[in-house]
Amino acid sequence: MKMLKTFIVVFGFAVLIVSGIYFPLSKFTGQHSFIQGQSVNCAECHPNQAGNLSLSVYHSNLSCRTCHNTTFSPGQEAHAASIPRCIDCHTSVVNEINNTYEAHMPLFRTAEDYGIRRGPNEACLLCHTNYSANITFLYYDYINYTVYNNGTSAPRPSTYYWQLESVIIGPQRTYAVEIKNQGESTHYWKNLLEISCVRCHVRIRLGNLGNAQGSQHAGDVADKGGTDPGHQNASYGGATDAYCKSCHRNASFDIYAAAPYYNYNLNSSAVHAAIKLTCLTCHNASGPYPPSNETPDKGGHYSEEFYPQVAQNVTRRLVGDLCTGCHRASNHDISSGACSNCHGPGSGRVNNKVYTEPKAAEASQWVYRSFP
């Protein structure tokens, strides 16, 4: 009887121990019940991305899986979410962005090489979303050139033939722009009207703040004493996005084929964002302001050779700087008394050293002129 009592006590204790272990484990009931992949809710872990996507002008009707469950090629399948390239769906952009006359082609190709994001995604995100990034611009410090007026007035009186004698390009420099967006979302896709040019091109905006500062994008390129208002941007309130697009996204310029100087036909619909332009786009034999129509107060450098010389000897990026070396009211120096070098009956040379953007936007004097 004593042994039986002992067994009952021990057995009862064992039940208590087992019970004590079993009931706490019941809290994890269902830990081996797996949710099917298509039923997993991405937004539970990524609420900000889902929220921004729903507010987007574009892609708001897409699910997370539309982009992130893409299989790229055999052997590169992702288990839960893949990282797509924007150009995997937007295939037409590849040809547009690689167009020789697309202004953002260097950004696209640099992004592809750096690998910060998959493929060139960082270039797409930079403009089309609230992605934050730092951009380093590479530019030439200055252009130094000499033009020669040979004193010949034919075929029209008071109009002289010009020759571009020498072109020296300064060293390359860099400047950085920090693009900081509140929220920094890569899933909020902007309306095209929300995309800002001057957000990245800060120095071009600074160069347009007045005649005291200068750049090839400045609004007033009228010669001193001339009656033509030049490229006034007063109606745009300075270097605004609308002012940028009035030239770089203007389909009416498509008719101005700069041949034979550049041997191309402009086609604004063939580029993705902004077409490359120079002064020669309009100021050429087939443009709206051909040299044959230019009077002395608008340049007076009618010449069969001059425009082709500029196109052949000056890199496209510096054509505007070469032109603004003379065509800036605040820098068309008449104090030297050397006006006859350009506008008189005789011949003469003019040497201009023009500091380019962004240096021109920072300097009180950005054109240095001499008469060798």
Nearest residue to 241 via CA among 202, 281, 187, 267: 202
Which whole number is the average pLDDT over 208-230? 55
Rounded CA-CA distance 209/205 in Å is 7
Q: Is the pLDDT of residue 128 over 60?
A: yes
Contact (Cβ atoms closer than 8 angstroms) between residue 244 and residue 198: yes
Backbone phi, psi, residue 275, to 5°:
-85, 145
Q: Which DSSP letter does residue 225 get?
A: T
How distant is the alpha carbon of residue 187 from its chain centre? 20
Average per-residue pLDDT for the chain: 76
Domain residue limits, the chain: 139-176+196-370
Contact criterion met (CB below 8 Å) for 169 and 188: no
Given a cut of 50, whether residue 212 has pLDDT beyond it is: no
Backbone angles phi, psi at 7, to 5 degrees: -65, -40
| Helix, coil or strand: residue 252 | helix
The C-alpha atoms of residue 311 and residue 163 are separated, in whole angstroms, by 13
The highest-confidence range among 2-16, 136-150, 225-239, by mean pLDDT, is 136-150
| pLDDT for position 93 | 92
SS3 content of the chain, % helix, strand, coil (to 5): 35, 10, 50
Whether residue 260 has a cis bond before it, omega within 30° of 0: yes
What the block records as the tokens of 15 is 């039940």
Cβ-proximal residues to 70 (8 Å cutoff; 6+ apart), any chain: 82, 84, 88
- C-alpha–C-alpha distance, residues 39 and 46, integer Å: 15
263: left (phi over 0), alpha (psi -120 to 50) or beta: left
What does the pLDDT look like over 300-343, one tens digit per residue?
A: 566 667 777 888 899 888 988 888 887 765 666 566 666 777 66
Q: What are the Cα distances from residue 194, in Å, to 137, 165, 211? A: 22, 45, 29
> What separation in angstroms does the CA of 250 have from each of 242, 253, 277, 353, 371?
11, 6, 11, 31, 38
Task: Compute how many other C-beta atoms are within 10 angstroms of the C-beta atom of residue 161.
Answer: 19
Of the given ranges (17-26, 95-104, 176-185), which has the lowest mean pLDDT? 17-26
- Give which of 350, 294, 5, 291 is closest to 145, Cα–Cα: 350
278 or 96: which carries more pLDDT confidence?
96
Angstrom CA distances, 120 to 51, 131, 279, stand at: 24, 14, 31
Q: For residue 145, what is the DSSP state?
A: E
pLDDT by residue (tens digit) across 339-367? Answer: 777 666 667 888 999 988 777 777 777 88
Q: From the CB of residue 319, how many other CB atoms can be counted at a distance below 10 Å?
A: 21
Q: What percent of the chain has pLDDT over 90?
A: 19
Token digits of residue 102: 């697309």
Q: What are 92-112's pLDDT values in tens digits?
A: 999 999 988 899 999 999 998
Q: Which residues contact 258 (CB under 8 A, 6 or more apart)?
A: 264, 266, 278, 280, 281, 284, 286, 287, 311
| Top-confidence residue, 175 or 282 | 175
How far, in Å, CA of 184 to CA of 191, rounded?
A: 16
